[in-house]
Protein backbone atom coordinates (compact mmCIF):
# COMPACT_ATOMS: atom_id res chain seq x y z
CA UNK A 1 0.00 0.00 0.00
CA UNK A 2 1.52 3.29 -1.10
CA UNK A 3 0.05 6.79 -0.76
CA UNK A 4 -0.28 8.83 -3.94
CA UNK A 5 1.90 11.72 -2.73
CA UNK A 6 4.36 11.80 0.17
CA UNK A 7 6.35 14.88 1.18
CA UNK A 8 9.51 13.91 3.04
CA UNK A 9 11.58 16.25 5.17
CA UNK A 10 15.20 16.78 4.18
CA UNK A 11 15.96 17.84 7.75
CA UNK A 12 14.65 14.76 9.57
CA UNK A 13 14.30 12.28 6.71
CA UNK A 14 10.75 11.60 7.90
CA UNK A 15 7.60 11.42 5.79
CA UNK A 16 5.70 14.49 6.98
CA UNK A 17 2.77 14.96 4.59
CA UNK A 18 0.66 12.21 3.03
CA UNK A 19 -1.84 13.02 0.27
CA UNK A 20 -4.25 10.38 -0.98
CA UNK A 21 -5.93 11.25 -4.29
CA UNK A 22 -9.25 9.73 -5.34
CA UNK A 23 -11.34 10.13 -8.46
CA UNK A 24 -14.18 7.61 -8.19
CA UNK A 25 -12.75 4.64 -6.25
CA UNK A 26 -13.70 4.40 -2.57
CA UNK A 27 -11.13 4.23 0.20
CA UNK A 28 -9.41 0.86 0.22
CA UNK A 29 -10.17 -1.75 2.91
CA UNK A 30 -13.05 -1.40 5.35
CA UNK A 31 -14.36 1.61 7.24
CA UNK A 32 -12.41 0.94 10.47
CA UNK A 33 -9.16 0.00 8.72
CA UNK A 34 -9.27 2.18 5.59
CA UNK A 35 -6.30 3.55 3.69
CA UNK A 36 -6.49 6.91 5.45
CA UNK A 37 -6.59 5.28 8.88
CA UNK A 38 -3.57 3.15 8.01
CA UNK A 39 -1.70 6.19 6.67
CA UNK A 40 -2.61 8.21 9.76
CA UNK A 41 -1.38 5.49 12.13
CA UNK A 42 1.80 5.13 10.10
CA UNK A 43 2.41 8.88 10.30
CA UNK A 44 1.68 8.88 14.02
CA UNK A 45 3.95 5.93 14.75
CA UNK A 46 6.93 6.71 12.50
CA UNK A 47 7.38 10.48 12.81
CA UNK A 48 8.27 12.78 15.67
CA UNK A 49 5.63 15.21 16.85
CA UNK A 50 8.08 18.05 17.34
CA UNK A 51 10.96 16.98 15.11
CA UNK A 52 12.00 20.56 14.62
CA UNK A 53 10.34 23.94 14.84
CA UNK A 54 11.42 24.48 11.24
CA UNK A 55 10.36 21.05 9.95
CA UNK A 56 7.39 20.38 7.68
CA UNK A 57 4.15 20.05 9.63
CA UNK A 58 2.67 16.54 9.72
CA UNK A 59 -0.58 16.14 7.80
CA UNK A 60 -2.84 13.65 6.09
CA UNK A 61 -4.85 15.10 3.20
CA UNK A 62 -7.52 13.50 1.02
CA UNK A 63 -7.89 15.08 -2.43
CA UNK A 64 -10.93 14.23 -4.56
CA UNK A 65 -13.64 15.88 -6.64
CA UNK A 66 -16.88 17.01 -5.00
CA UNK A 67 -18.64 14.04 -6.60
CA UNK A 68 -16.39 11.68 -4.61
CA UNK A 69 -17.31 13.36 -1.33
CA UNK A 70 -21.01 13.41 -2.37
CA UNK A 71 -21.17 9.61 -2.76
CA UNK A 72 -22.70 8.20 0.44
CA UNK A 73 -20.12 5.48 1.12
CA UNK A 74 -17.16 7.79 0.53
CA UNK A 75 -18.65 10.61 2.57
CA UNK A 76 -19.56 8.27 5.44
CA UNK A 77 -16.16 6.53 5.50
CA UNK A 78 -14.29 9.86 5.39
CA UNK A 79 -16.52 11.34 8.10
CA UNK A 80 -15.99 8.25 10.27
CA UNK A 81 -12.23 8.78 9.99
CA UNK A 82 -12.47 12.47 10.87
CA UNK A 83 -14.85 11.90 13.79
CA UNK A 84 -12.78 9.03 15.20
CA UNK A 85 -9.28 10.48 14.83
CA UNK A 86 -9.64 14.28 14.97
CA UNK A 87 -8.95 14.50 18.71
CA UNK A 88 -5.91 12.21 18.48
CA UNK A 89 -4.65 14.20 15.49
CA UNK A 90 -5.05 17.46 17.42
CA UNK A 91 -3.29 16.04 20.49
CA UNK A 92 -0.33 14.90 18.40
CA UNK A 93 -0.27 17.96 16.11
CA UNK A 94 -1.22 16.21 12.87
CA UNK A 95 -3.40 18.13 10.44
CA UNK A 96 -6.28 16.27 8.81
CA UNK A 97 -7.80 17.85 5.75
CA UNK A 98 -9.38 17.57 2.37
CA UNK A 99 -8.89 19.24 -0.97
CA UNK A 100 -11.87 19.45 -3.30
CA UNK A 101 -10.58 19.02 -6.84
CA UNK A 102 -12.31 20.33 -9.95
CA UNK A 103 -13.43 17.73 -12.46
CA UNK A 104 -11.25 17.48 -15.56
CA UNK A 105 -12.56 19.41 -18.53
CA UNK A 106 -13.51 17.61 -21.70
CA UNK A 107 -11.45 18.48 -24.75
How sure is the predictor about 23, in pLDDT bands with cuts at 50, 70 and 90? Answer: very high
Residues 23, 68: contact at Cβ < 8 Å?
yes
Phi, psi of 33 (to 5 degrees): -135, 35
The whole-model pTM stands at 0.89
pLDDT in tens, 49-105: 875 567 889 999 999 999 999 999 999 999 999 999 999 999 999 999 999 998 765
The alpha carbon torsion through 24, 29, 33, 38 (nearest 10 deg) reads -70
Amino acid sequence: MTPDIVIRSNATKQNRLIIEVKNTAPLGYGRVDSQVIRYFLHLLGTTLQDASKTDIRRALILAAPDSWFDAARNRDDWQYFLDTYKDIARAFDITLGEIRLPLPHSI
